[in-house]
Amino acid sequence: MDESVIDQDVYAELQETAGAEFVAELVDTFLEEAPGMLAELRSARAENHSERFRRGAHSLKSNSNTFGALKLAALARDLEIKGLDADPARDMAVLAELDAECARAAAALKVLRDG
Amino acid sequence: MAEFGARLLIADDNKVNRLLLSRSVELQGHSAALAENGRVALEMLRREPFDLLLLDIEMPEMDGFAVLEHLKADPQLRDLPVIVTSSVEGLDNIVRCIGLGAEDYLPKPVNAVLLKARIGASLEKKRLRDQQKDLVRRFATSEVAQDLQQSGFSLGGKRVHASVMFSDIRGFTALVENQPPEETIELLNTYYTLMFEAISSHGGVVNQMIGDGLMALFGAPLSLDDCAGSAVAAAQEMIELIEQFNLERAAARKPPISIGIGIATGDVVAGYTGTQQRATYTCIGDTVNLAARLEAHTKNVQRPILIDAATRHGLEAGVQLIALGDVQFKGKAGAAPVYAVAQHSG
């Protein structure tokens, strides 16, 4: 597992304060919710809906930070602050990057959950 | 400790955030209900009581700013402590939350130790505020407490049409000298209980108690359609209650007490007087002075209830009055006509 995907200290602290068993459930919830959040971002982009786009990025950022998925959080934060790009192609490129990073984070979280 | 076992509402559109926050507060010994956006949160707040709201800003349907604005405008909810938990970008947004009345702001991901400290502090502040409200209720009348809550506290008055009543116990000084102080306190407590009952059941408000005397207002702070009629009806009931009380006293071989009541009606200036630190709700004006003089005059004419011409003017035909002619009161330019209220027959 690539240790740079999830910040181990953040994850360990989350386990310590909320309990390992609860965090395992929380990871499951995130794994269920994440595809919907990514889809929401894409649909907001397609419909040119800046408010939904910003809120979707915000939500993904918030959850990534919770689990210590810092790179994913940084990508989402960039989208939140920048908002819809005048050039949709540029957003699509970032969204592809976001998908890939989210997949890496999901894989790493599964390992941590089952570890 | 009051800060344990509180009931919190968590408003957040993100499921992971909702679950994590509710886990955190439950680990602190509180219980949590969940709302997935601001509109649902407001509905729940209006339906059931909560001690504290943990509020996200970015939410669909109704965001956190709008929730704060609604809470601020709602007299029932404006004192509810709110802690904003958000990863919203920009200091101006945080400033806006505080400006809208949020107690505190915690960035997400929320640190559990900080959250615990902020919840504890907010609940403690709420407890103090509730205690204060309770005190206001105990030391002011509920009408004044309500007036204070609705319009806030400010010194200064407004002109209102009202009837002012003064009442005290005749020969109270002699009574006090002839009995132990404990008995006097007990007598006063019974006396005040009876008088409050008669006055408030007719829409009046006792705003001052001095020794054995009291001052009551009919028509302020809440206006009354028939302030003169209400004041006179209250006075008649006060006399009746004292007569009943005297029967009990006679059975206990205690001397009877008697009271004198003066009522005047007119424009008064009612409001809070005093200082910012210590103030009382009262009213001032000629009407107040006249009511006090009439009450003192009951001794001279041996009549329990005396009223002025304006009060008489406001009465319906059913009340029997005895005209006592004009009386020149101390401090008054001209003589004023005085009427005694005849007691109910039987």
**Residue B2 clears pLDDT 50, i.e. is over it:** no
- Collapse the DSSP code of B102 into the 3-class scheme (helix H, G, I; strand E, B; otherwise coil) and give the result: coil
pLDDT in the model for residue B175: 81
Q: Are A27 and A110 in contact (CB under 8 A)?
A: yes
pLDDT in the model for residue B132: 75
Residues of chain A above pLDDT 70, percent: 97
Please give the Cα distance from B121 to B119 (Å, whole number): 5
Amino acid at A14: L
Contact A66 B109 (CB under 8 A): yes
pLDDT in the model for residue A31: 96
Amino acid at B206: V
**Alpha-carbon separation of residue A102 from A71, A109, B16, B104 (angstroms):** 9, 10, 16, 32
From its phi and psi, is residue B312 left (phi > 0), alpha (psi between -120 and 50) or beta? alpha
pLDDT in the model for residue B341: 94
User: Phi then psi for A26, rounded to 5 degrees?
Assistant: -65, -40
pLDDT in the model for residue B33: 97
Question: Residues 6 or more apart from B86 whose CB is under 8 A from it?
Answer: B55, B56, B57, B58, B64, B93, B97, B105, B107, B108
* Chain B residues closer than 8 Å to A77 by CB: 89
CB-count exposure of residue B115 (10 Å: 0-12, 13-18, 19+) = buried
Mean of the pLDDT values across residues B318-329?
89
My answer on whether omega of the bond before B221 falls inside 30° of 0, hence cis, is yes
pLDDT in the model for residue B177: 84
Residues of chain B above pLDDT 70, percent: 89
Whole-number average pLDDT of chain B: 87
A54, A59, A102: best mutation site toward chain B, by most B Cβ within 10 Å? A59
Structure-model confidence comparison of residues B278 and B345, the more confident one: B278
CB-count exposure of residue B204 (10 Å: 0-12, 13-18, 19+) = buried
Give B281-316 pLDDT, tens digit per residue. Answer: 778 888 999 999 999 999 999 999 999 999 999 998
Adjacent-strand bridge partners of B9: B33, B53
pLDDT winner (highest mean) among B6-15, B103-112, B116-125, B252-261: B6-15
Give A43-99 pLDDT, tens digit per residue. Answer: 999 999 999 999 999 999 999 999 999 999 999 999 999 999 999 999 999 999 999
Give B12-38 pLDDT, tens digit per residue. Answer: 999 999 999 999 999 999 999 999 999
**Residue B137 clears pLDDT 70, i.e. is over it:** no
pLDDT in the model for residue B38: 96
Contact A62 B14 (CB under 8 A): yes
Give B141-185 pLDDT, tens digit per residue. Answer: 666 666 666 665 556 677 889 999 999 998 888 888 888 888 888
Question: Within 10 A of B135 (CB to CB), how many other CB atoms are there?
Answer: 11
Question: Residues 6 or more apart from B209 whose CB is under 8 A from it?
Answer: B192
pLDDT in the model for residue B1: 41
**Alpha-carbon separation of residue A61 from A56, B38, B108, B174 (angstroms):** 9, 20, 10, 81
* pTM above threshold 0.90: no
pLDDT in the model for residue A115: 80
pLDDT in the model for residue B75: 81
> Given the structure tokens 């008055």, which residue do they identify?
B157
Give B57-75 pLDDT, tens digit per residue. Answer: 999 999 999 999 999 999 8
The mean-pLDDT minimum among B94-103, B254-263, B275-284, B329-338 falls in B275-284
Q: Are B306 and B262 in contact (CB under 8 A)?
A: yes
B66 touches chain A (CB under 8 A): no
Distance from CA of B102 to the nearest CA of A (A): 21
pLDDT in the model for residue B265: 96
> Given the structure tokens 């919203």, which residue do they identify?
B88
B93 touches chain A (CB under 8 A): no
Structure-model confidence comparison of residues B83 and B328, the more confident one: B83
pLDDT in the model for residue A107: 96
Distance from CA of B280 to the nearest CA of A (A): 51
> Given the structure tokens 């008669």, which residue do they identify?
B198
Adjacent-strand bridge partners of B272: B155, B281
Structure-model confidence comparison of residues A40 and B79, the more confident one: A40
Q: Are B196 and B152 in contact (CB under 8 A)?
A: no
Angle, vertex CA B157, rays to CA B135 and CA B312, nearest 5: 100
Chain A interface residues facing chain B, Cβ-Cβ under 8 Å? 10, 14, 17-19, 22, 25-26, 29-30, 33, 52, 55, 58-59, 61-63, 65-66, 77, 80-81
Give the confidence band of B3 by pLDDT, cuts at 50, 70, 90.
very low
Structure-model confidence comparison of residues B332 and B179, the more confident one: B179
